[in-house]
Chains A and B, each alone.
Chain A
Amino acid sequence: GAVVSQHPSWVICKSGTSVKIECRSLDFQATTMFWYRQFPKQSLMLMATSNEGSKATYEQGVEKDKFLINHASLTLSTLTVTSAHPEDSSFYICSAQREGPEQFFGPGTRLTVL
């Protein structure tokens, strides 16, 4: 149990376009979902925290208007990278939390902006 999926796994887009990444908890309802960004061979940096039906809480330095988060239901959160640029290229990982302190991580999405 506690499986989290992400779609797509890989995405390549042109500079200036927007990209949407989905995060789903497949077999449980998530009280909270988290979005992380990871650069090559580096640790995970928390971008934002979202709860179903409410606005996301963004970490300091993360642009709200650039990284739009929508938590539509207890099993789905989406991250939209708007007007993407090459510096937005990264590995984006989501996680979901139910009761208890543990976070369950998705497989990640590799974004490449040309």
Chain B
Amino acid sequence: AQSVAQPEDQVNVAEGNPLTVKCTYSVSGNPYLFWYVQYPNRGLQFLLKYITGDNLVKGSYGFEAEFNKSQTSFHLKKPSALVSDSALYFCAVRALNDYKLSFGAGTTVTVRA
């Protein structure tokens, strides 16, 4: 079975400060890892993915994430947060030999001006 843990329900940061949203996963074998963002009453928007290759993945809107196999983590980061980054963020994992995505519970990010 595969699963994702997002240990923080909420993350609050000031605009201009670094933003980190944590994610750890459990999966058999090598994982596919994803980050999505959701604004109120909207679907999920893709931010970035890890399939293979470099552990540091760069994505949309200045976000990046680092795949750490030994710690089974895939934390999302942004060096300088914007108020417009305030949203709900989901981490998701998929095993290579599976078609299902498993989502974390989500982390609400609030960036204050």
Contacts and interface: CB of A to CB of B under 8 A. Distances in A.
Interface stretch (A62-70, A80-88, A106-114): A106-114
Interface in B86-102: 88, 90, 94, 96, 99-101
A107 B100 contact: no
A28 interface: no
Contacts of A108: 41-43
Interface string B16-60: 000000000000000010101000011111100101000000000
Contacts of A34: 101
A49 to B, nearest CB: 7
B103 interface: yes
Given A102-B49, A105-B36, A42 B106 contact: yes
B99 A106 contact: no
A90 interface: no
A95 B42 CA distance: 13
B110 to A, nearest CB: 13
B13 interface: no
A56 interface: no
Given A43-B105, A102-B34, A102-B49, A93 B43 contact: yes
A74 interface: no
Closest 6 CB pairs of A and B: A105-B44, A107-B43, A101-B32, A108-B43, A105-B43, A43-B103
Interface of A: 4, 6, 32, 34, 41-44, 46, 49, 91, 93, 95, 97, 101-108, 110
Given A46-B100, A91-B41, A108-B43, 13 more contacts: A43-B90, A43-B104, A46-B101, A93-B44, A97-B99, A101-B51, A103-B101, A105-B36, A105-B44, A106-B43, A107-B42, A108-B42, A110-B41
